[in-house]
Structure 1
Amino acid sequence: MNTTDTGDLHAHAHPHHAGDDAGTVAMAELLELDAEVLEGYVSELTAWLGELAVREPGHIVDLGSGTGTGAIALAQRFAQADVTAVDLSPQMLRRLSNKALTLGLADRVRGVQADLNEGWPALDPSDLVWAAASLHHMEDPDSVLAGAFAGLRPGGLLAVTEMDFFPRFLPDDIGVGRPGLEARIHTLLNPGPAADWTDHLARAGFVLEAERPFVVNLPAPLPAATARYAQVCLRKLSSHLDGRLPADDRAALDAVIDGDGPHGVLRREDLTVRTTRTTWAARRP
């Protein structure tokens, strides 16, 4: 049984439900940390999309943009493009606007508040649509894909990205009396493979250009933000365990997340980041 939601982690967790302020603030931090720590992956992904594009994008749409980490990365990659970030949450869109202003991108990046479950918003035709960990939140993703298809110019690209699961950070020897704590947690909570969008894309009229997994394997030592990123992710996983861990594993996990001792994640210098994210790139003929 799926007891958690893999979309709670990347760029666009709960993008179509505004939520309470505390939850929005926590999710915004997670999105920002994810983008900071995985900056190299995002850069590689946007560069690849540039190689696939038949023309320099003039207008890009980011579906379920969250705080706009994808929208900002796309605006920085494609310097001639205007970027429209679509999200339900006004709090997330305010963060996007502030970030765009700080980075000197306010003239090219704008937010549109819309619930994609209620239909495609009124947007200018686009050359690239980006949907990172957002489509699986939709009540009817085929309808959203149909809207993306209609909104793309002929030859335009759609990029759909999903993650396999939360990243892994800890050495395998973590655990009281028995190693492999993080692996056991992932075994308990991982719902299995992420959605495969190939058939959905075909039904909407797209032609699949490529399906590419991006394997992230960042070795220690890593930037300081990694420790906080690991803490936030592990805390999120912990909140879904609901008494399913043995007492010794629970104690070990609590010590890793919040402990001041040598096992505390904020004190560790041996953290790594291991995860896989897959992108389906499809074209409107």
Structure 2
Amino acid sequence: MGAHEHEHSHADWAEMSASLERRAAAYAPMTARIIEQVRAAQPEPRRIVDAGSGPGVVTRALAEAFPSAEVVAVDATQALLDLTARRAERNGLGDRVRTRLAELPAGLADVGDADVIWLGLALHHLGDQRAALAEFARHLAPGGVLVLLEGGLPARYLPRDIGIGTPGLQARLDAADAARFNEMRAALPDVKDEAEDWGALLTAAGLTHLETRTHLLDLPAPASATVRAHVADVFGRGRGGLREGLDADDAATVARLIDPDDEAGLDHRPDVFLLATQTVHAGRKRKDA
């Protein structure tokens, strides 16, 4: 759970598309503020690449925020790109949104240089993050901006004591999630250990580190239906593995939370909220590069 909020190993992104869309809907207010951060750095981009675009919710937001830009969604899962294309058509954006089936970062070669590359929670799925950032930087147009979403704090959804089980459940779930994240990273092809000093890595990629800023999403209880649906996903509805590494007491508590018929479950609790942060790092390519 926490900062990553997704299955990290052998993920079937097509099957997870609905969960990804619910997360994007819940986080939409934060995404809008991050896009304003992008606008301050690059007011009138001609081409934006959404790298690791998933089901295209952010692709749509970028296309709507920058009405003069072509937005290219790049992902390795065709089913998610199909969702992106259909969403663009429904919202009258089909003439400016295109999709590209490709692995990252190699697949950017045929996309064309971008004024903005949005890299949202995708870099940590690549084994050699330093080399990948250098390749992303290579595909920026002169003066282009790389927007890297990595880091933040574990999200919170419930009080420390929820009245069932042992208090402090979320902290223990965060620890289990961190262990799974480490396992995912270790299993990636060509993985290299790297200190996560993202500003320094942007500089090493040849970019000027513009800024690092952390955005807050504070949606207090009682949760909206959109937030409640996302929190249910996070706690494991339809997602195997959440309870791995937990003791029997915590596993039983999670089972109760995701049971729609349990009065102590997420569907009925008045104390569900969403408090999250996302750190954004921006780097610019020199205009004479």
Q: Tell me which interval the TM-score lies in, with the shorter structure as reference length.
A: 0.7 to 0.9
Return the offset for 1:5: 10
For 2:170, the equivalent position in structure 1 comes to 182
Matched residue, 1:72: 60
Runs of 4+ in structure 1 off by over 6 angstroms are: none
Quote how far apart the aligned CAs of 1:84 are.
0.5
- The match for 1:104 is 92
Once the 2 structures are TM-superposed, how far is the Cα of residue 215 of structure 1 from its aligned partner?
A: 2.2
* Structure 2, unaligned runs of 5 or more: 183-194
Residue in 1 that maps onto 2:285:
284
Match of 1:267 in 2: 268
Q: Which one-letter code corresponds to 1:280 in the other structure?
A: H
TM-score normalised to structure 1 length: 0.86
Percent of matched pairs sharing the same residue? 32
Find out whether 1:216 has 2:223 as its counterpart.
Answer: no
Quick one: structure 1 residues 210 and 195, their matched pair in 2 at CA, closer, same or farther if it must change by over 3 Å? same
1:226 aligned onto 2:227: yes
How many corresponding residue pairs? 272
Distance 1:229 1:136 in 2: 22
Alpha carbons of 1:114 and 1:5: their partners in 2 closer, same or farther (altered >3 Å)?
farther
- RMSD across aligned C-alpha pairs, in angstroms? 2.7
Does the Cα contact within 8 Å between 1:32 and 1:69 map onto a contact in 2?
A: yes
In structure 1, the gaps of 5 or more residues are none
Q: What secondary structure is seen at the aligned counterpart in 1 of 2:262?
A: coil
> Which residue does 2:241 correspond to in 1?
239
Q: TM-score of the superposition, structure 2-length normalised?
A: 0.84
Give the aligned partner of residue 204 of structure 2.
Answer: 203
Shift of 1:225: 1.7
Query: 2:129 is matched with which residue?
Result: 141
Q: Deviations over 1:209-244 (max 9, x none)?
A: 0001112221112321222211111107872432x3
Find the aligned partners of 1:28 and 1:166 in 2 and give their Cα distance. 22
d(CA) in 2 for partners of 1:27, 1:196: 30
Q: Give the Cα separation in 2 of the matches to 1:131 and 1:119.
A: 14
Kindly indicate whether the alpha-carbon contact (under 8 Å) linking 2:145 and 2:282 is maintained by their aligned counterparts in 1: yes
Q: Does the CA contact (< 8 Å) of 1:217 and 1:273 recur in 2?
A: yes
Task: Give the SS at the match of 2:209.
Answer: strand
Conserved in 1, the CA contact under 8 Å of 2:144 and 2:284?
yes
1:154-213 per-residue CA deviation (whole Å, 9 max, x = no partner) reads 211110002446532112222535322222222343359994322221121000000011
- The aligned runs of 1:48-63 (5 Å cut-off) are 48-53=37-42, 55-63=43-51
Q: CA deviation at 1:132?
A: 0.3
Whether the aligned pair in 2 keeps the contact of 1:61 and 1:128 (CA below 8 Å) is yes
Q: What SS does the aligned partner of 2:233 have? A: helix
Q: CA deviation at 1:256?
A: 0.4
